[in-house]
Amino acid sequence: MSTLTVERAVLGDPLTEPLIRELTHEYVARYGAGGQEEMAGHPAEEFTPPDGLLLLLLRDGEPVAGGAFRRYDAHTAELKRMWTAAAHRRQGLARRVVAELELAARAAGYRRIFLTTGSFQPEAKGLYLATGYTPLFDVTEQSAEFHLLPFEKDLAAPTAGKAQLR
- Please list, in sequence order, all residues whose beta carbon lies within 8 angstroms of the beta carbon of residue 102, skipping any fewer than 6 positions away: 113, 153, 155, 160, 161
Taking the CB of residue 128, how many other CB atoms lie within 10 A of it?
A: 25
Taking the CB of residue 30, how many other CB atoms lie within 10 A of it?
A: 14
Residue 37 within a domain: yes
> Across residues 113-128, what is the average pLDDT?
90
Residue 160 within a domain: no
State the Cα–Cα distance between residues 103 and 126, nearest whole angstrom.
Answer: 21
Residue 116 within a domain: yes
10-35 residue pLDDT tens:
988 999 998 888 988 888 888 887 77
> CB of 137 within 8 A of CB of 150?
yes
- Give the pTM: 0.88
The answer, yes or no, to whether residue 142 has pLDDT greater than 90, is no
Largest CA distance in the chain: 44
82-119 residue pLDDT tens:
999 888 899 989 999 999 999 999 999 999 999 999 88
Q: What is the CATH number of the domain that holds 107?
A: 3.40.630.30
Residue 164 within a domain: no
Provide the domain count of the chain: 1
Q: Residue 88 is part of which domain span?
A: 4-154
* Mean pLDDT value across the chain: 88
